[in-house]
Structure 1
């Protein structure tokens, strides 16, 4: 893996009267690169960048790859006192943070983006505003609407053993989704549709450990699990705005992904310059499950000739 630098980017947050920052990890040198930098935006919301580190393999070919931990998670400023505050943890906060990151790095006039899961949702919204500097976009493992996501999750849940379904339903109905029994049942879903590698890659495990330590953002915006959405994200949708994405866009999912074809298809149908690649041996994390092919597909799209 290429050398990297770590920085803390100051982030002025409304209604927060203490210094805040966004943690950023940069592979390569922005001052010497001849290639357009790539900003990688992680999912969650409330996760961290570690589980996307295979994308840094692109740095071996001279691409500067920029990761950051979104505000409220990872190694960035945490605000557990804002847990449950749905008026604070909103999409616009994270769009403002992204703008702050690219401006601080001085790349706001020319960059590519890869957003995964929630990060792809967020960057889909960003791209729909047609920012001047965005050149190409990768939306990886992301739904075009959360209503479709829930429908897909319900379909996949119905394929689980009946006792697992019963356990999940019991705790969701009782409001005891923080119980170990619920977490164990939830893991069976994750093993099938989130990451199929055993043992789980350490970079992925780090993300889940950090989320366990502080789930403020995830639990407030999303809810207790990938398939039990109780937060305001349950109403999130890009169905009316996806057609505004003007840049060439690559859509990615896995054959066993919780982001089933049904949640990706609306992106493809609406974005004028869209391509779509499904990894046949992957679920939600093809960057690990089919790492070499994943990096190749992304590299060819971002830095090769474009054709639909």
Structure 2
């Protein structure tokens, strides 16, 4: 296992992207890059994906996105500094720095898709990794990317908001409390926190208490809300940040590598928000995990990792996958 920093130049400034490699990049086996969610979370909750190194012997790469975790923090950056293209550039830079741009796989969770992460004062949309992985693939056409895995991520933020509305309609009493405090801006009120915890336990992570690595990542938003505030706003029920209006739907047809979609009907990211991925990509497989909500790597690990392993080790890597 190795750790390091990849210099990442933005304008006239050079920042540092922290990364960890589980396995040996020089020992053969196609590496897989794991992209964590956000905004403002860290790589820690993605660490269960070390299982892919154990099962397949491939190097597994984790990293903290700029502004998060062990990578450079920029608390005084203006709001307009934080945009999806910044992290897409960072991902492209990391792949080049590690020397794997001609042959790698990519796994993005949530931002990885819109999750409800109830924490004191913050209800987090954890939706950067799927956004970054999808946008990276659709707009940069990386020739060396052999497989893309998108877990729990909608094809657009409007679909995420529609998913959130669906969840709230299913929980009208909770929704009334959340609406009251959202309108008042009282996100630290105990009533608001209790209401969001109810949704959290149904649609974010059904394991109680929350797994330690997931808690570490989630608490990072409280420790430094810079990225969350810029991209989302004060809460996911008052989305006024730079994510507003984001969509990848009109670019999905550009994705030519095989894609695995993972979702759950219990997730805050509802199945209808996944459909555009399935309809607009040529080589695609969609698997629903019925015993999970938004964190299948913790909630349903055996099935989750088996589906990924089966996808990565299929006998005909270039065969059509579509099951529509």
What band does the TM-score fall into relative to the shorter chain?
A: over 0.9
Distance in 2 separating the partners of 1:184 and 1:74: 27
Query: 2:51: which partner in 1?
Result: 57
Distance in 1 separating the partners of 2:189 and 2:230: 18
Shift of 1:197: 0.7
Counterparts in 2 of 1:1-308, with a 5 A limit? 4-14=1-11, 16=13, 20-32=15-27, 34-60=28-54, 61-82=56-77, 85-118=78-111, 119-129=129-139, 130-160=141-171, 162=173, 164-305=174-315, 306=317, 307-308=320-321
- C-alpha RMSD of matched pairs (Å): 1.5
Distance in 2 separating the partners of 1:127 and 1:219: 26
Q: SS at the partner of 1:63?
A: coil
Q: SS at the partner of 2:79?
A: coil
After the TM superposition, list the runs of 4 or more consecutive aligned residues in structure 1 that deviate by more than 4 angstroms. Answer: none
Distance in 1 separating the partners of 2:33 and 2:247: 23
Is the 8 Å Cα contact of residues 157 and 245 (structure 2) preserved in structure 1? yes
TM-score (norm 2): 0.88
Aligned residues between the structures:
299
Q: SS at the partner of 2:249?
A: coil
TM-score (norm 1): 0.93
Distance 1:77 1:251, change over 3 A: same
Q: SS at the partner of 1:240?
A: helix
Distance in 2 separating the partners of 1:77 and 1:181: 35
Is the 8 Å Cα contact of residues 255 and 281 (structure 1) preserved in structure 2? no
Distance in 1 separating the partners of 2:87 and 2:33: 14
Distance in 1 separating the partners of 2:181 and 2:237: 13
Distance in 2 separating the partners of 1:281 and 1:224: 31
Is the 8 Å Cα contact of residues 114 and 139 (structure 1) preserved in structure 2? yes
Is the 8 Å Cα contact of residues 182 and 237 (structure 2) preserved in structure 1? no
Shift of 1:12: 1.8
Is the 8 Å Cα contact of residues 82 and 242 (structure 2) preserved in structure 1? no
Distance in 2 separating the partners of 1:105 and 1:180: 46
Gaps of 5+ in 2: 112-128
Gaps of 5+ in 1: none
Distance in 2 separating the partners of 1:234 and 1:35: 39
Is the 8 Å Cα contact of residues 266 and 293 (structure 2) preserved in structure 1? yes
Distance in 2 separating the partners of 1:197 and 1:161: 23
Distance in 2 separating the partners of 1:195 and 1:225: 18
Distance in 1 separating the partners of 2:307 and 2:191: 39
Shift of 1:79: 1.2
Q: SS at the partner of 1:233?
A: coil
Shift of 1:303: 2.6
